[in-house]
Amino acid sequence: MKLAELSIRRPVFAAVVSLLLVLLGLVSLTRLAVREYPDVEPTVISITTVYTGAGAAIVENKVTQIIENRVAGLEGIEKLRSSSRDERSAITVEFSADRPIDAAANDIRDRIGRVLDELPDEAEPPEIRKTGAEGEAIMYLNLTSDRLSAIELTDYAERVLVDQLAATPGVARVNINGGRRQAVRIWIDRQALAARALTIAEIEAALRSENVELPAGRLESAAREFALRTDTGLNRVEDFRRLVIGRGPEGYLVRLGDVADVRIGAENERSMSRSMGLPGVSFGIEQMSRTNTLEVANEVHRTLARIGAELPPGMQLTADVDRAVFIRASLREVVIALGISLTAVLVVIFLFLGNLRATLLPALTIPVSILASLTFMDFMGYSINVLTLLGMVLAIGLVVDDAIVVLENIFRRIEVGQPPLLAALDGSREIGFAVIATTLVLISVFVPLSFLPGVLGRLFREFGLTLAAAVLFSALVALTLTPALAARVFQGGGERGALAVRIERFFAALAGRYERLLRSLIRRPWLVVGGTLGLVLLAGLAFRHLPQEFTPAEDRGFLFVGLDAPEGASLEYTTGYLQQAEQILFREMERHGDIQRFALRIGSVGFSAEVNAVRGWIVLGDWGPQRRPAAAIADSLRRQLAALPGVRSFVFVPQGLSIGGFGQPVQVVIGGPDYPTLADWSDRLVAQAAANPGLLTVETNYQERKPQISVAVDRDRAAELGVSLQTVGRTLEAMLGSRIVTTYVDRGREYRVILQARAADRVQPADLENLYVRSNRGGELVPLANLVHLEETAAAMQLNRFDRMRAITISASLAPGYTMGEAVQFFQELVARELPATARLSFDGQAREYLRSRGQLWSSFAFAIGIVFLVLAAQFESFRHPLVILTTVPLAVIGAVAGLTLYGFTLNVFSQIAMILLIGIAAKNGVLIVEFANQQRDRGLARVEAVVRAAAIRLRPVLMTSLCTASGALPFLLASGAGAETRRPIGVVVFFGTVIAVLLTLLVVPAVYTLIAGRHRSPHYLAGVIERLRAAPGGSGSGGPEPT
């Protein structure tokens, strides 16, 4: 090889190249962002339309369907979801991951602009929002106090804390969740209002007209000028109470305080947030894009330490969910794995060579290749994350392979007495083609991972290309630095140590026994091939019975918990169960000590908006042998919460990639013609699914049982009495639902003023009897009861659609030991058995990603084999030799399936990715044997003799490289602590696949080679023939012996 020869002649040049790679890598290390995973957020556009006064069904027909039909034809749409509620349509358009969010938003705006004329006049223009990965919530804080109310806590948070947290370096925004923002609440007494012959509309008009602040001009003198301002704003509760809203029947002034209770209250009283049993306010901290998660988290903790010293007595600000804790723990585990892997690899090399200097030469490849790959990551805009670090650990076992092959060949020549300089030159030249071939094979496997579509492509692109870069740099080092140093650090012909002599004798004896075994087996190659096919068939049967899922449940240091009270339950009713759940959590903390903190919410933004739903998280202690696994803690809490009567509960461990957010992992979407039919279908499916012990918390997003009062307005009667429907609607909204009418300023901040009837005046339908509206004809009061008819019904609060069809989603969590594959198969069989052919079955969330990944990864597997075949064919100038080499792939799969079966692991994204890696790992052993066999045939040996001798000579490097790769995966196989659930499947597949593959490769590849290798004319052989022809007199002569 020219490169190796240049490096041997100019060793300083070789050293400088490696040093430059190291220096650039160290610089890149300081620039790379640190994240948990690569950015896999999809391109999502939301379209929200407000249609005041319209019910859910009208919103669906007149707004949602029209917009959906217009935007559905856009390029790159992968999923279209919508929900229609009273007065509100919400559509979510999810594009393919590679679709630029700005281009998608522009296309949506263009389509919406064309549909505005088709929407009702009363509907507001649709609001379009981009949902991307601009910020990521990395931490949730909780502010609690044993002295202050939730309103006071929220006000303190908004005035004092939010700005300080938002000013922290790397923080993009701070969101307050579960707070009760201060407002002036005006609780109307309907009887007092009726007695004074006034209406809600008149109160609203007085508040709007009297609460103003206007400029009044200027006063100008010869020397000075004054600006005038008319300040009639209402800034205190007493100002609102004294506000004149009209005159009574006898002409006296009526003030707001005469007909209402005016006081400071909560803007939204249908939500609650509690942390450790105390009222609290939650903060979501989002980081800026391309920032270091660990650094941002550290900065936030510094800010918390400074804020904590300034908090009022009795107030505490704590970090509940801190994603950096898991990332930091995962990184620590990976660093430990790096050390273990490096040590194991060096031990393997030393045991095979018995020479300390020879051991250190391949070791230099590791830091150079790993640091050089950091430069590549920085250039590509990648981040240091769990997957790229996994790739680096695996790379330790791979990057030394090229250096080992080169070094072993040089070392073998030195052992037989060749001078180190010539041994380095001849050895690197002899093995150079094999090094390039194995490098290209590995790159051909890793690169196709980046072509996976959707979430998987974005997830594993950095993993695959980082591995490819590390292997490429390792080949560069193996062909430059390794021969240059080997030529100078080895002493030829001197006395060797006793260990080296014993190791040499051991491998000589092992090679002799192996050669004799191979000669006996190769006489019956079909027997070897037949036995291998039998093993492949057994592995195939075992493979079909492997449980499947998208990602394994992962102990990330916290759990999700929830309670669902009956439909229509009040806030007070749900709060009672929340407090019982808190007592269960406190008892669990005292009993085991596994739980550190917990926070629960009712009706909070980001979870459920209904007051019958409790959602929250439980923060666990540090990973360690004393703490129970998250799944065991979840199972214990699940049993205790299930004992609460009258509510449904769930506790589940988050999945590895957290796709689907807080939602349950199994989401089954049933599409059909209309909602009554869908409701009947879903009830049948839910009943069957609830009986499946593998599915927990089975529920649907179609809640038809919620009590509802249908208010039918007599339009003719209203027109006859001169009352507009708008007046009727606003009166009902203000009295029963609450209505924001104006704002006020308190200490420099603006707050809302909200009208609503007293709680005692909105308990039952009869409470509408003392509500009045004023007629536009003559101004007399008209009882609202004369205009409306009330009927109690059970109606759906929300109508959902999926991919332009009416749909109901059934969701469930998985019981321990029950996999996503089993759940998906259960619902597929259930729908086929229970529902007619007109029903359409789809999946969403993690179930959808599981189905997509299953097909995509196996397509990538086949694609990688095809690429490797073509690369090998181009290198070997043969279509037969690649077939010989690729027989190693099913051998590796045998080991992978055996490992997964032995450990009881599932077939998931991580184990499938590891199987794709096995293509290159297994093929490189075949390359070493086949390439050297071809060299022997170029020298005139017969086919059988050539492959036997090649296998015997290459036995040591084949075993060395394979055991180094297996040693690199050993820390994953034995992984514990944070993130072990995703690392162990990779370790099992790579370790067992590599070990079984090398043992079978040494027997199968020579046998297959003798059967199908055929006549051989390598490029090296033909080059020699051409040179001899040129050297012959007259350009003719013998071209050498005919290859066998």
For residue 553, give the nearest of 896, 915, 980, 897 by alpha carbon: 980
- Across residues 789-799, what is the average pLDDT? 71
- Quickly state the pLDDT bin for 968 (edges 50, 70, 90): confident
- Cα–Cα distance measured from residue 518 to residue 765, given in angstroms and rounded to the nearest whole number: 92
Higher pLDDT residue, 128 or 429? 128
SS3 714: coil
Check pLDDT > 80 for residue 661: no
- Quickly state the pLDDT bin for 768 (edges 50, 70, 90): low
In the prediction, which pLDDT does 605 show?
Answer: 42
In the prediction, which pLDDT does 406 show?
Answer: 78
In the prediction, which pLDDT does 396 show?
Answer: 76
Highest mean pLDDT among 257-266, 404-413, 697-706: 257-266
In the prediction, which pLDDT does 1 show?
Answer: 54
- Quickly state the pLDDT bin for 494 (edges 50, 70, 90): very low
| Residue 432: both structure tokens together | 């150079």
H-helix or E-strand spanning residue 953: helix 943-953
SS3 85: strand
> Percent of the chain beyond pLDDT 70?
87
- Across residues 134-162, what is the average pLDDT? 80
- Across residues 20-41, what is the average pLDDT? 81
- Across residues 1021-1042, what is the average pLDDT? 61
| Residue 1028: both structure tokens together | 């001899």
- Across residues 802-808, what is the average pLDDT? 89
Check pLDDT > 70 for residue 663: no
- Cα–Cα distance measured from residue 1008 to residue 1002, given in angstroms and rounded to the nearest whole number: 11
| Residue 772: both structure tokens together | 């009045």
In the prediction, which pLDDT does 231 show?
Answer: 62
Interval 117-129: pLDDT, tens: 888 877 888 888 8
* Chain centroid offset of residue 405 CA: 39
- Across residues 217-234, what is the average pLDDT? 68
- Cα–Cα distance measured from residue 142 to residue 145, given in angstroms and rounded to the nearest whole number: 10
- Across residues 908-913, what is the average pLDDT? 82
- Quickly state the pLDDT bin for 176 (edges 50, 70, 90): confident
In the prediction, which pLDDT does 497 show?
Answer: 60
In the prediction, which pLDDT does 267 show?
Answer: 76
Q: Is 182-266+707-794 assigned to CATH 3.30.2090.10?
A: yes
> Percent of the chain beyond pLDDT 90?
1
Interval 306-326: pLDDT, tens: 888 888 888 888 888 888 888
Interval 502-533: pLDDT, tens: 777 777 787 788 888 888 887 887 888 888 88
Scored b (16 or more CB within 10 A) or e, 209-229 reads ebbeeeeeeeeeeeeeeeeee
In the prediction, which pLDDT does 279 show?
Answer: 81
Beta bridge partners of 671: 807, 840
1-25+354-493 CATH: 1.20.1640.10
- Quickly state the pLDDT bin for 499 (edges 50, 70, 90): low
DSSP code at position 99: S
Residue 460, class by beta-carbon neighbours within 10 Å (0-12 exposed, 13-18 middle, 19+ buried)?
Answer: buried
Cβ-contact 258, 194 below 8 angstroms: no
Interval 576-596: pLDDT, tens: 888 899 999 998 888 888 888
User: Under CATH, which architecture does the 496-545+878-1013 domain have?
Assistant: Up-down Bundle (1.20)
In the prediction, which pLDDT does 133 show?
Answer: 42
Cβ-contact 234, 751 below 8 angstroms: no
Q: How far apart are the first and last CA of the chain?
A: 26
Interval 343-383: pLDDT, tens: 887 888 777 767 677 777 777 888 888 888 889 888 888 88
Check pLDDT > 70 for residue 1037: no
In the prediction, which pLDDT does 1014 show?
Answer: 65
In the prediction, which pLDDT does 606 show?
Answer: 41
In the prediction, which pLDDT does 940 show?
Answer: 72
User: In Å, what is the CA distance from 1002 to each residue of 361, 891, 916, 950?
Assistant: 26, 11, 21, 11
What single-letter amino acid sits at 608? Answer: S
Q: Is the pTM of this model over 0.85?
A: no
- Quickly state the pLDDT bin for 99 (edges 50, 70, 90): confident
Fold for 558-706+798-850, please state it.
Alpha-Beta Plaits (3.30.70)
CA angle (400, 403, 405) in 5-degree steps: 105
In the prediction, which pLDDT does 607 show?
Answer: 38
In the prediction, which pLDDT does 138 show?
Answer: 80
| Range of lowest pLDDT (392-401, 694-703, 797-806, 1004-1013) | 392-401
Interval 526-575: pLDDT, tens: 888 888 888 888 888 888 888 877 777 778 888 888 888 877 677 788 88
Segments making up each domain of the chain, as ranges: 1-25+354-493, 182-266+707-794, 496-545+878-1013, 558-706+798-850
In the prediction, which pLDDT does 1032 show?
Answer: 67
Cβ-contact 389, 334 below 8 angstroms: yes
Same fold, 1-25+354-493 and 496-545+878-1013: yes
Give residues with Cβ within 8 angstroms of 899, minimum separation 6. 905, 988, 989, 991, 992, 993
CA angle (317, 318, 319) in 5-degree steps: 135
DSSP code at position 272: E
